[in-house]
Protein backbone atom coordinates (compact mmCIF):
# COMPACT_ATOMS: atom_id res chain seq x y z
CA UNK A 1 0.00 0.00 0.00
CA UNK A 2 1.40 3.34 -0.96
CA UNK A 3 2.00 6.19 1.42
CA UNK A 4 -0.86 8.12 -0.15
CA UNK A 5 -3.22 5.20 0.29
CA UNK A 6 -2.22 4.74 3.91
CA UNK A 7 -2.85 8.42 4.66
CA UNK A 8 -6.27 8.25 3.05
CA UNK A 9 -7.16 5.12 5.00
CA UNK A 10 -6.08 6.81 8.27
CA UNK A 11 -8.29 9.84 7.56
CA UNK A 12 -11.21 7.57 6.75
CA UNK A 13 -10.74 5.61 9.98
CA UNK A 14 -10.55 8.85 11.99
CA UNK A 15 -13.86 9.99 10.52
CA UNK A 16 -15.47 6.72 11.51
CA UNK A 17 -14.32 7.13 15.12
CA UNK A 18 -15.81 10.69 15.44
CA UNK A 19 -19.29 11.25 16.90
CA UNK A 20 -21.87 12.57 14.46
CA UNK A 21 -22.46 16.33 14.39
CA UNK A 22 -25.17 17.35 16.90
CA UNK A 23 -28.38 18.82 15.52
CA UNK A 24 -31.28 20.61 17.19
CA UNK A 25 -34.57 18.87 17.03
CA UNK A 26 -37.91 20.69 17.31
CA UNK A 27 -39.73 20.33 20.65
CA UNK A 28 -43.45 21.07 20.39
CA UNK A 29 -45.05 23.23 23.13
CA UNK A 30 -47.21 21.06 25.39
CA UNK A 31 -50.91 21.30 24.60
CA UNK A 32 -51.69 21.85 28.30
CA UNK A 33 -49.46 24.93 28.41
CA UNK A 34 -51.05 26.35 25.26
CA UNK A 35 -54.50 25.86 26.80
CA UNK A 36 -53.46 27.62 30.01
CA UNK A 37 -52.07 30.60 28.07
CA UNK A 38 -55.31 30.82 26.05
CA UNK A 39 -57.42 30.83 29.24
CA UNK A 40 -55.30 33.55 30.86
CA UNK A 41 -55.43 35.68 27.72
CA UNK A 42 -59.20 35.35 27.52
CA UNK A 43 -59.57 36.32 31.19
CA UNK A 44 -57.34 39.38 30.71
CA UNK A 45 -59.40 40.56 27.73
CA UNK A 46 -62.64 40.08 29.68
CA UNK A 47 -61.27 41.94 32.72
CA UNK A 48 -60.11 44.92 30.66
CA UNK A 49 -63.40 45.07 28.76
CA UNK A 50 -65.56 45.02 31.89
CA UNK A 51 -63.41 47.08 34.28
CA UNK A 52 -64.75 50.51 35.24
CA UNK A 53 -61.92 52.45 36.88
CA UNK A 54 -62.69 55.75 38.58
CA UNK A 55 -60.56 58.78 37.95
CA UNK A 56 -59.93 60.78 41.15
CA UNK A 57 -60.80 64.49 40.99
CA UNK A 58 -57.89 66.81 40.37
CA UNK A 59 -57.53 69.44 43.09
CA UNK A 60 -57.54 73.00 41.80
CA UNK A 61 -59.71 72.34 38.73
CA UNK A 62 -62.89 74.31 39.41
CA UNK A 63 -64.79 72.48 36.70
CA UNK A 64 -63.82 69.15 38.22
CA UNK A 65 -64.66 70.26 41.75
CA UNK A 66 -68.04 71.57 40.66
CA UNK A 67 -68.83 68.29 38.94
CA UNK A 68 -66.91 65.83 41.06
CA UNK A 69 -68.68 62.64 40.10
CA UNK A 70 -72.00 61.11 39.26
CA UNK A 71 -74.59 60.50 41.92
CA UNK A 72 -73.69 57.59 44.16
CA UNK A 73 -76.73 55.39 43.67
CA UNK A 74 -77.67 52.70 46.12
CA UNK A 75 -79.32 49.46 45.11
CA UNK A 76 -83.06 49.35 45.85
CA UNK A 77 -83.58 48.54 49.50
CA UNK A 78 -79.91 48.98 50.39
CA UNK A 79 -78.75 51.40 53.06
CA UNK A 80 -77.15 54.57 51.69
CA UNK A 81 -73.49 54.89 52.69
CA UNK A 82 -72.79 58.45 53.80
CA UNK A 83 -69.04 57.78 54.04
CA UNK A 84 -68.95 56.61 50.43
CA UNK A 85 -70.83 59.67 49.23
CA UNK A 86 -68.52 61.95 51.21
CA UNK A 87 -65.45 60.30 49.69
CA UNK A 88 -66.83 60.70 46.17
CA UNK A 89 -68.37 64.15 46.44
CA UNK A 90 -66.79 66.11 49.29
CA UNK A 91 -63.33 64.91 50.32
CA UNK A 92 -61.51 66.61 47.42
CA UNK A 93 -62.27 69.98 49.05
CA UNK A 94 -62.94 69.28 52.71
CA UNK A 95 -60.38 66.45 52.90
CA UNK A 96 -60.86 62.99 54.40
CA UNK A 97 -59.89 64.45 57.78
CA UNK A 98 -62.70 67.01 57.65
CA UNK A 99 -60.13 69.77 58.25
CA UNK A 100 -60.44 71.37 54.81
CA UNK A 101 -57.59 73.46 53.43
CA UNK A 102 -56.80 76.64 55.41
CA UNK A 103 -57.79 79.77 53.53
CA UNK A 104 -59.28 77.78 50.65
CA UNK A 105 -61.87 75.23 51.78
CA UNK A 106 -63.45 75.46 55.26
CA UNK A 107 -63.28 72.62 57.80
CA UNK A 108 -66.25 70.46 58.66
CA UNK A 109 -64.73 69.22 61.91
CA UNK A 110 -66.17 71.49 64.60
CA UNK A 111 -67.92 73.68 62.01
CA UNK A 112 -70.87 75.58 63.41
CA UNK A 113 -72.57 75.29 60.01
CA UNK A 114 -72.19 71.52 59.88
CA UNK A 115 -73.19 70.81 63.47
CA UNK A 116 -75.75 73.58 63.99
CA UNK A 117 -79.39 73.49 62.98
CA UNK A 118 -80.18 70.63 60.65
CA UNK A 119 -81.67 72.85 57.98
CA UNK A 120 -78.44 74.83 57.52
CA UNK A 121 -76.24 71.98 56.33
CA UNK A 122 -79.10 70.57 54.25
CA UNK A 123 -79.65 73.92 52.52
CA UNK A 124 -75.92 74.29 51.87
CA UNK A 125 -75.90 70.94 50.09
CA UNK A 126 -79.13 71.59 48.22
CA UNK A 127 -78.14 74.96 46.77
CA UNK A 128 -74.41 75.50 47.36
CA UNK A 129 -72.68 78.73 48.41
CA UNK A 130 -71.27 81.57 46.36
CA UNK A 131 -70.08 84.22 48.78
CA UNK A 132 -68.11 84.90 51.97
CA UNK A 133 -68.64 82.72 55.00
CA UNK A 134 -66.94 82.57 58.38
CA UNK A 135 -66.18 79.13 59.80
CA UNK A 136 -64.59 78.73 63.24
CA UNK A 137 -63.50 82.38 63.18
CA UNK A 138 -61.79 82.19 59.76
CA UNK A 139 -63.16 83.79 56.60
CA UNK A 140 -63.60 81.88 53.34
CA UNK A 141 -64.83 82.94 49.94
CA UNK A 142 -67.50 80.30 49.52
CA UNK A 143 -67.66 78.63 46.11
CA UNK A 144 -69.37 75.34 46.87
CA UNK A 145 -71.44 73.64 44.15
CA UNK A 146 -75.00 72.55 44.81
CA UNK A 147 -75.86 68.87 45.08
CA UNK A 148 -79.65 69.18 45.06
CA UNK A 149 -79.89 67.80 41.54
CA UNK A 150 -77.16 65.18 41.95
CA UNK A 151 -78.19 63.60 45.24
CA UNK A 152 -81.63 62.45 46.33
CA UNK A 153 -83.12 63.00 49.79
CA UNK A 154 -81.76 59.75 51.24
CA UNK A 155 -78.25 60.45 49.94
CA UNK A 156 -78.18 64.01 51.29
CA UNK A 157 -79.48 62.71 54.63
CA UNK A 158 -76.75 60.05 54.70
CA UNK A 159 -73.84 62.33 53.89
CA UNK A 160 -74.95 65.15 56.22
CA UNK A 161 -75.46 62.64 59.04
CA UNK A 162 -71.97 61.28 58.38
CA UNK A 163 -70.46 64.78 58.57
CA UNK A 164 -72.34 65.59 61.79
CA UNK A 165 -70.89 62.53 63.55
CA UNK A 166 -67.28 62.47 62.31
CA UNK A 167 -64.01 64.11 63.44
CA UNK A 168 -65.32 64.76 66.94
CA UNK A 169 -68.68 66.14 65.79
CA UNK A 170 -71.57 64.88 67.90
CA UNK A 171 -74.65 66.42 66.27
CA UNK A 172 -77.81 64.44 65.56
CA UNK A 173 -78.45 62.51 62.37
CA UNK A 174 -80.64 63.93 59.62
CA UNK A 175 -83.55 61.99 58.14
CA UNK A 176 -84.60 61.86 54.47
CA UNK A 177 -87.92 63.39 55.56
CA UNK A 178 -86.10 66.47 56.89
CA UNK A 179 -84.24 66.81 53.57
CA UNK A 180 -87.51 66.47 51.66
CA UNK A 181 -89.08 69.22 53.78
CA UNK A 182 -86.11 71.55 53.21
CA UNK A 183 -86.07 70.80 49.50
CA UNK A 184 -89.74 71.67 49.21
CA UNK A 185 -89.32 74.84 51.31
CA UNK A 186 -86.79 76.29 48.87
CA UNK A 187 -87.87 74.61 45.62
CA UNK A 188 -88.27 78.01 43.96
CA UNK A 189 -84.62 78.91 44.65
CA UNK A 190 -82.43 78.70 41.55
CA UNK A 191 -79.17 80.24 42.77
CA UNK A 192 -76.62 79.45 45.50
CA UNK A 193 -76.69 81.06 48.93
CA UNK A 194 -74.69 84.26 48.79
CA UNK A 195 -72.67 83.44 51.91
CA UNK A 196 -72.94 83.22 55.65
CA UNK A 197 -75.00 86.36 56.12
CA UNK A 198 -77.88 85.12 53.97
CA UNK A 199 -77.72 81.68 55.56
CA UNK A 200 -77.79 83.24 59.04
CA UNK A 201 -81.03 85.07 58.14
CA UNK A 202 -82.50 81.79 56.93
CA UNK A 203 -82.16 80.20 60.36
* Residue 107 to residue 91: CA distance in whole angstroms: 11
Looking at residue 84, its pLDDT comes to 95
- 9 located within any domain: no
- 161 located within any domain: yes
Secondary structure element (H or E) that encloses residue 115, with its range: helix 112-115
- 175 located within any domain: yes
Q: Which domain holds residue 131?
A: 62-202
- 108 located within any domain: yes
Residues (pLDDT < 50) of the chain are: 52-77
Instruction: State the DSSP string of 42-101.
Output: HHHHHHHHH----PPPPTT-HHHHTT-----PPPTTPPP-HHHHHHHHTHHHH-TTS--B
- 11 located within any domain: no
Q: What is the pTM of this model?
A: 0.62
Q: Domain count for the chain, please give it.
A: 1
Radius of gyration of the chain (CA): 36
- 32 located within any domain: no
* Residue 162 to residue 144: CA distance in whole angstroms: 18
CATH number, domain of 99, equals 1.10.760.10
Amino acid sequence: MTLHSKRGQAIHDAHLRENPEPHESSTPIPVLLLGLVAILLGWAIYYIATANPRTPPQFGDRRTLSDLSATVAAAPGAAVDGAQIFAAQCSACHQATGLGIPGVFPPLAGSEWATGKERLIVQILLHGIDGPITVKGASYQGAMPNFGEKLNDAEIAAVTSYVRKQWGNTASSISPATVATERDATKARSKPWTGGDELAQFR
